[in-house]
Amino acid sequence: MTIRNVQQVATGTPADEVNGLTQADGDVILKGLFAKQVDRLYDEIDSIVKEWVQGIVGNDWMKEFAGYKTKRVTQLIARSKAFREEMLDDPTMLSYVDKLMLDTSDSYWMNAAQVIQLQPGEKAQFLHRDLENYPIFRAYGPKGLEVMCNCIIVLSDYTEEMGATRVIPGSHKWEDFENRGDPSQTVAAVMEKGNAMLFAGKLLHGAGEIEAIVLVAR
């Protein structure tokens, strides 16, 4: 099996072209999508992240999934003016999301907005599809409706050592969505600060093993 790297396009690439890549691979990196905003966002949330308690409250499964030390700062819309006024309704980003979601839906809304700071020593997150938030859709496999998507925005350069999200391009087309693949099938979504990765809720992915701290807005 040949593993494909995550394809990258320049911000401003026509929405039809970007949609073609997400339909083919399940993911695409948008170079420089928020390069002008990430420093302002970082400045607004840096002190909050520093004071945020590591880990997450929940059962053992949730702690394993979310990370025992990973910080997850929620309610980003309320905490960051840059995110709220400049990024949330960015027309270029929305043009790409529209193509992914509006073929099967009348509208869509934001489910969550958070900043994630991965901590050194965290294990790789187990591979999952975000549509599993709604388990019934697993049974429909690739023929099911697109019920959600994600956009990961990196606030610093995103390397394998820093736990860059690992994905299996093409896994959104696998017939059996109970099959969650194997880490050996993944590639790291390495990105420069200000880049973003748009990916379908059907795509297998998970945070990588951490050797250094990284900030991610999602």
Q: What's the CATH code of the domain at 54?
A: 2.60.120.620
pLDDT in tens, 136-165: 999 999 999 999 999 999 999 999 988 899
Domain around 20: 8-217
Residue whose pair of structure tokens reads 């970007």 in the numeric block: 18
- Does residue 107 lie within any of the structural domains? yes
- Does residue 75 lie within any of the structural domains? yes
- Does residue 39 lie within any of the structural domains? yes
- Does residue 1 lie within any of the structural domains? no
What is the Cα–Cα distance from 189 to 181, expressed in whole angstroms? 17
- Does residue 33 lie within any of the structural domains? yes
- Does residue 2 lie within any of the structural domains? no
Q: What's the pLDDT band for 119 if we cut at 50, 70, 90?
A: confident
Q: What's the pLDDT band for 212 if we cut at 50, 70, 90?
A: low
Q: Angle 199-201-202 (CA atoms, 0-180°, nearest 5)?
A: 100
Residues of the chain with pLDDT > 90, as a percent, come to 79
What is the Cα–Cα distance from 72 to 55, expressed in whole angstroms? 8
Q: What is the mean pLDDT of the chain?
A: 92
Torsion of CA 103, 144, 186, 6, to 10 degrees: -10
Tally of structural domains, the chain: 1
Q: What is the mean pLDDT of residues 21-48?
A: 96
- Does residue 112 lie within any of the structural domains? yes
DSSP 8-state class, residue 1: -
- Does residue 145 lie within any of the structural domains? yes
